[in-house]
Amino acid sequence: MTPFVADFLIPVGKIAAVILYPMLMVVVMIWLERRVVALMQGRLGPNRVGFQGILQPVADAVKLFFKENIMQRQADKFLFNISPVLVMFSSLLAFCFVPLGEPIRIGSYTLTLWIAESPVGLLIILGLSSISMFGVIFGGWASNSKYPLMGALRSVIQVLSYEIPVGLTVLTVAFIARSMDLVEIVRRQESSGVWYGFLMPVSFVVFWISSVAETNRAPFDLPEAESELVAGYHTEYSGMKFAYFYMAEYAHMVLVSSLVVILFFGGWLPPFPGVKALSFLHVVPGFVWYLVKIMFFLYLYVWIRATFPRYRFDSLIRLVWKWLIPLSLVNLLAVALVRYLL
């Protein structure tokens, strides 16, 4: 392999992939959401554009692309423009650290299925996902309008609250895996032969609930609660800027689902990695396992949205401070104790 290919083409290709892969998932996700919710409500949902309506999100994007960008005269111009970019950028950037599978060997060259492997990859991803919340907050504030402001306020409190259980549960994984490197965490799950989700169900449940809240999804979609705040923090946005917020939300969901899969469900590992009798499952490429697991969690997102009413602000806060944080603290303590004793 020439140095040109190895040092230039492949990195560029990877960068392109890291942008394309989330966007592709976003398209699938938007379609999945509308279709699945419709089917659960006895409707059909979009099924005309492309096969079963799969191109509907593309058509929507094209429409949004040609729409006028409206900005309030009193809006803070700089923040108003920067915040959709911030949200989108941080969501996409986080995907650099998400490993998609085992490295592939092509001759002497090893193709890694991630852009950057960092010993603190987990922390970086959490940090980046927090940065995307700044976009939400800035956007809501810069709109200089009441509904977006209220959406942003709700968002601040929601993120402040739910970062804590996320952090605490991630720590338990780090304790067990003795690493914050995502690739390493998956490899530890392979060597220990059990997915951490089964080892630490409490961690998984707390992490999952908190991350649904962190992605502003139903039933925790308070910052953009349609029936209350019109469209929440992006009420004043239109056209492509709105599309950025919209897509970033889905990208964030994909990111969070990837994290859940990596931390608790063995990433690209097939089920029961330790059981010899099931080793034939290795025939299926790891990436496929990985996608199947992600899709399951994305489906769960949609399923929950179709089923439940929206939490109220105070009960949402009560849930996290009175239930999730104590639970995750006890859980952390228990895991640490077990880890220390063993």
Does residue 315 interact with another protein by CB under 8 A? yes
Does residue 42 interact with another protein by CB under 8 A? yes
Does residue 310 interact with another protein by CB under 8 A? yes
CB closer to another protein out of 231 and 240: 231
Q: How far is the CB of 84 from another protein (least distance, A)?
A: 22
Q: Are 252 and 132 in contact (CB under 8 A)?
A: yes
Strands (E), the chain: 104-106, 109-111
Among 313, 334, 336, 338, binds another protein (CB under 8 A): 313
CB closer to another protein out of 58 and 306: 306
Stretch that binds another protein, among 16-24, 183-191, 221-229, 239-247 (CB under 8 A): 221-229
Stretch that binds another protein, among 178-186, 194-202, 252-260, 311-319 (CB under 8 A): 311-319
Does residue 153 interact with another protein by CB under 8 A? yes
Report residue 54: phi and psi, to 5°: -65, -25
Does residue 159 interact with another protein by CB under 8 A? no
Among 16, 191, 307, 339, binds another protein (CB under 8 A): 307
Q: Are 238 and 256 in contact (CB under 8 A)?
A: no
Q: What sign does the dihedral 153-159-162-165 (CA atoms) show?
A: negative
- Quick count: other Cβ atoms within 10 Å of Cβ 115? 16
Among 228, 240, 281, 287, binds another protein (CB under 8 A): 228
Does residue 51 interact with another protein by CB under 8 A? no
Dist. CA 212–CA 301, nearest whole Å: 8
Q: Which long-range contacts (CB under 8 A, 24 or more apart) does 241-247 make?
A: 241/69, 241/81, 241/84, 242/64, 242/84, 243/61, 243/64, 243/65, 244/84, 244/85, 244/87, 244/88, 245/84, 245/87, 245/135, 245/136, 245/139, 246/30, 247/23, 247/26, 247/61, 247/88
Does residue 43 interact with another protein by CB under 8 A? yes
Does residue 317 interact with another protein by CB under 8 A? no
DSSP state of 111: E
The continuous run of DSSP H or E covering 316 comes out as helix 313-318
Q: How far is the CB of 318 from another protein (least distance, A)?
A: 9
CB closer to another protein out of 175 and 313: 313
Interface contacts to another protein, rule CB under 8 A: 36-37, 39-44, 146-147, 150, 153, 218-219, 221-222, 225-228, 230, 303-304, 306-315
